[in-house]
Structure 1
Amino acid sequence: MKLKMTLLLLLSCLYINAQQLKGILGEDNWFNNWTNFKPASTEYNEATTILTGVISSNMTLQRKNTYRLIGVVYVTNKATLTIEAGTVIRGDKESCGTLVITKGSKIMAEGNETAPIVFTSNNNVLSRKPGDWGGIVILGDAPINRIGGIGFLDFNLNQEVSYYGGTNEEDSSGILKYVRIEYSGRKLKEQKELNGLSLAGVGNKTKLENIQISFSNDDSFECYGGKATLNNIISYRATDDDFDFTQGAQAKITNSVAIRDPFSSDVAGSRCFEIDNYDKIENCDFTKKATQVTANNITLLNTQENNQGLVKEAIYIKDKCFLTLDNSVIHGFSAIAVLDSKIGYISENLNRVSFRGVIANNCSAKIISEVVGNNVEIENWYSNASFAFDYTTIPTLDFFIQPSLKKTPDFRLRSYTNLASK
């Protein structure tokens, strides 16, 4: 009898632990100390040092200074820009302060839990808005699927130094760790809005972890080709997409979260994940790898429940792209994902899009197509037990450990025993 009870207890613990391994993980709340969900009211020191022009030799930004980023600042000539933990850089609005790390150069921005590096608006408290400054652009030597293997971003940058793409998947553009980026997304001379962090041809030796992007006026993160690996990433209230992947990106993202608010989203369609293969079909080399995203322990959530239909799907996937989403949580969207009309109900196409062990909580629809006539077949396809979807309708307060954004949130799931009783 004691042996049976012990075995049952062990199996129960293993089952509970398996359930808890979905969505973002951590023995403790890894949001603590370094994140900021109320940057509009945060007091930052006034800028004491101007950062402008071209950086063509190694340079260090020191914590004792507060920097004002004026115009487009290019790091060139294989130089390394080092930023000390705790340093604050404030982007200028009028000149669209923007930092560009050119191909072959590096940024070494390694903050820590108690002294993150902050890129933010130069505006005063309570007058900050999405699009107050440009953003950060990192250009690398990893492959992209554009014809010719070299690309230029549509941000009106200096093309003599602002190209990306190559053959080195293991290229390193440096480190961004314990970094916050706030209120980015301004346009350069009426071109496309910049993203919070643009990763163009960035290789997998670039260290990208513990990064929070808040109130971006366009995408928070966009990967243009390359082979970026991201871990412990937070996107908060982006106007456009949280994570955008294109141009043959071979991206891996783990233990990361997108937090959407319908009232700060673009009406044209904003998603947590948008995955496509090219910006313009005429520029794409289809002999090269298609965009492939491998995502594990991801939490995609919408913070508003009564939103007058403003919330759309969590994920949008275009034709010929690959997505594997495992052990993740999708909460509060109109649909889990929308598939491009060209995907259709074709097994070769659907096999590129895999979900395994996903909890879909309070989502109105499952995985659907842009072509309504395909929805029954697609729902049947993803109803296969191998996908292991778990559809639930648990209130937000009971679903996450601490979902309130009035203080540091904790979007890890409550224990399965608590959830199962709801």
Structure 2
Amino acid sequence: MKHLPKIVSIFLLFIGSALAQQEKGIIGNNNWLSSWTEFRPDLVEYNEANEILTGIISTDTKLLKRNTYMLLGDVFVTDGAVLTIEPGTVIIGDFKTKGSLTITKGATIIANGLETDPIIFTSNRSVKKAGDWGGIIILGDAPINTYGNGALTGYNFATDASIDISYGGENIESNAGILRYVRIEYAGKRTRDGDNFNALLLAGVGTETTIDNVMVSYSAGNSFDVYGGELYLEKLVSYKSNRIDYNLNYGTQCNLFNSLAVRSSYVSSSKGSRCLNIASYDKGEDVSFVKQETAVTALNLTLVNVSDDLDYEIKLNLVKEAVFIGNDASLSMKESVISGFSPAVLIDNSVRVNNENLKKIIFQKMYFNNCNGNIFKEYNNNNEDLENWYGNSSFFNVYSKGLDSETFIDIKNENRLDFRLRINKILASNID
């Protein structure tokens, strides 16, 4: 019996470790991806459109599940109107006119789908491809860090001068409505200036806006763009985007929780693609440095590059970093998983590696798996200082090399994909 206290201690340590490891990556007692997501949207057929949405919607409007709607050209909700979309409604973006939907500042979208009946935005082509239609733009009057109190969307719309496509202001609580249980498929069509629409742009959106359980699949542009504002995002999914999965910029104060990005090397754009891009500006001359810089808190993310031959793809230079952090921006990323990238994290070359900046870039209780290097500064192959800093035991970061099939519960069966971690595999990584 003299060994009983030691046995009890080991048992409690094991149980405690198991519970702690369950907190890494996307979490949930059940697989929250299993009911409303769709990882093979190319196999789903929808009814042909029997209602057209075009031009300006300036009065309160409700879209009904019994109809199928087509976005013909650029559609704008204006003049404080409320666009309400019933659960289960299908909205199709027109390919020829690169259909898009913009909720202008002061207007509202209520797309409150159900787990069993999500709202679908998709392509009208028989053979669907990334970039078939435009995307969804939601504009609010929350703060941004550009000069003045407003900026334009930058999509080069051919709009009537009466349509206000600006965003930004001083209303932190700006309420643009609800997006819940919504799927956005095959968005990101090229714009007239040669860039791409992004699947979902949230610009100047404030704290009273609700965004959760939104899936973007096969976007030719970025999946989720957040410009300025202050908001909480939960249970988002970006699946095989050509560009950036989560792009947070222009002074946003954003909490991103329990969300997933799945990349494939063979659908990534040569223009630059990564899971998480944190920046305060594209050009320094466009912003005011007396305003808030971008500050992101990321908790329980799973960022994974799915590959059958990762080493080969790395040799072909098809695999890039998962996370990029620009100058004058901060990121606190905890209890998250980064798997299958080269490297896991890249910090902008202009960021000085010192105590002040390292306090703004936090990686804690992370699980780095099967990455070709962990945390580097751009254009610098010597990351010894960063490895020593983030490898300190006080950060509780875990480093491992493991196959996807051994790391995640099930990422092969597209009918029930489950990107939660296998607990026994993670425990073994800690013991090694």
Same fold? TM cut 0.5: yes
Give the secondary-structure state (helix, strand or coil) at the position aligned to 2:106.
Answer: coil
Change (3 A) 1:418 1:282: closer
Instruction: Tell me the equivalent position of 2:116.
Output: 114
Instruction: Tell me the equivalent position of 1:323.
Output: 331
Contact 2:21-2:427 at 8 Å conserved across structures: no
1:316 offset after TM fit, Å?
0.8
Deviation string for 1:374-408 (max 9, x for gaps)? 52222222222222210001211110000115322
Change (3 A) 1:387 1:10: closer
Q: Please, which of 260, 268, 272 is the counterpart of residue 271 of structure 2?
A: 268
Instruction: Tell me the equivalent position of 2:75.
Output: 73
Change (3 A) 1:276 1:405: farther
TM-score for both structures, normalised by structure 2: 0.94
Contact 1:155-1:191 at 8 Å conserved across structures: no
Contact 1:362-1:394 at 8 Å conserved across structures: yes
Give the secondary-structure state (helix, strand or coil) at the position aligned to 2:20.
Answer: helix
1:189 offset after TM fit, Å?
2.5
Change (3 A) 1:113 1:94: same
User: What amino acid does structure 2 have at the position aligned with 1:218?
Assistant: G
Instruction: Tell me the equivalent position of 1:312.
Output: 320
Contact 1:154-1:192 at 8 Å conserved across structures: no
1:63 offset after TM fit, Å?
0.1
Give the secondary-structure state (helix, strand or coil) at the position aligned to 1:386.
Answer: helix
Contact 2:406-2:425 at 8 Å conserved across structures: no
Moved more, 282-291 or 267-276: 267-276
Give the secondary-structure state (helix, strand or coil) at the position aligned to 1:90.
Answer: strand
Instruction: Tell me the equivalent position of 2:393.
Output: 385
Q: Which runs of 5+ in 2 are unaligned?
A: none
Aligned length: 420
Q: Please, which of 228, 232, 243 is the counterpart of residue 229 of structure 1?
A: 232
Identity of aligned residues (%): 44
1:338 offset after TM fit, Å?
0.6
Instruction: Tell me the equivalent position of 1:44.
Output: 46
1:248 offset after TM fit, Å?
0.5
Instruction: Tell me the equivalent position of 2:424.
Output: 416
Q: Distance in 2 between matches of 1:65 and 1:35?
A: 21
Instruction: Tell me the equivalent position of 1:175.
Output: 178
Instruction: Tell me the equivalent position of 1:28.
Output: 30
Q: Distance in 2 between matches of 1:350 and 1:244?
A: 21
Give the secondary-structure state (helix, strand or coil) at the position aligned to 2:333.
Answer: strand
User: What amino acid does structure 1 have at the position aligned with 2:23?
Assistant: L
Moved more, 127-136 or 346-355: 346-355
- Correspondences of 1:348-359 after superposition (within 5 Å): 348-359=356-367
Give the secondary-structure state (helix, strand or coil) at the position aligned to 2:261.
Answer: strand
1:191 offset after TM fit, Å?
4.5
Q: Does residue 138 of structure 2 align to residue 138 of structure 1? A: yes
Q: Distance in 2 between matches of 1:417 and 1:277?
A: 37
User: What amino acid does structure 1 have at the position aligned with 2:226?
Assistant: C
Contact 1:143-1:166 at 8 Å conserved across structures: yes
Task: Provide the aligned C-alpha RMSD in A.
Answer: 1.6
Instruction: Tell me the equivalent position of 1:201.
Output: 204
Give the secondary-structure state (helix, strand or coil) at the position aligned to 1:74.
Answer: strand
Q: Distance in 1 between matches of 2:300 and 2:123?
A: 31
Give the secondary-structure state (helix, strand or coil) at the position aligned to 2:230.
Answer: coil
Moved more, 79-88 or 410-419: 410-419
User: What amino acid does structure 1 have at the position aligned with 2:133?
Assistant: W
TM-score for both structures, normalised by structure 1: 0.96
Contact 1:399-1:419 at 8 Å conserved across structures: no
Q: Distance in 1 between matches of 2:301 and 2:424?
A: 17
Give the secondary-structure state (helix, strand or coil) at the position aligned to 1:380.
Answer: helix
Contact 2:18-2:427 at 8 Å conserved across structures: no
Q: Please, which of 273, 278, 281 is the counterpart of residue 278 of structure 1?
A: 281
1:300 offset after TM fit, Å?
0.3
Q: Which runs of 5+ in 1 are unaligned?
A: none
Instruction: Tell me the equivalent position of 2:13.
Output: 11
Give the secondary-structure state (helix, strand or coil) at the position aligned to 1:175.
Answer: strand
Q: Does residue 375 of structure 2 align to residue 367 of structure 1? A: yes
Instruction: Tell me the equivalent position of 2:340.
Output: 332
Contact 1:103-1:164 at 8 Å conserved across structures: yes
Contact 1:252-1:294 at 8 Å conserved across structures: yes
Q: Distance in 2 between matches of 1:60 and 1:408?
A: 33
User: What amino acid does structure 1 have at the position aligned with 2:383?
Assistant: N
- Correspondences of 1:85-96 after superposition (within 5 Å): 85-96=87-98
User: What amino acid does structure 2 have at the position aligned with 1:153?
Assistant: T
Give the secondary-structure state (helix, strand or coil) at the position aligned to 2:357.
Answer: helix
User: What amino acid does structure 2 have at the position aligned with 1:227?
Assistant: E
Contact 2:144-2:227 at 8 Å conserved across structures: yes
Deviation string for 1:98-155 (max 9, x for gaps)? 000011111000111111000000111xx11111000000001110000002111110
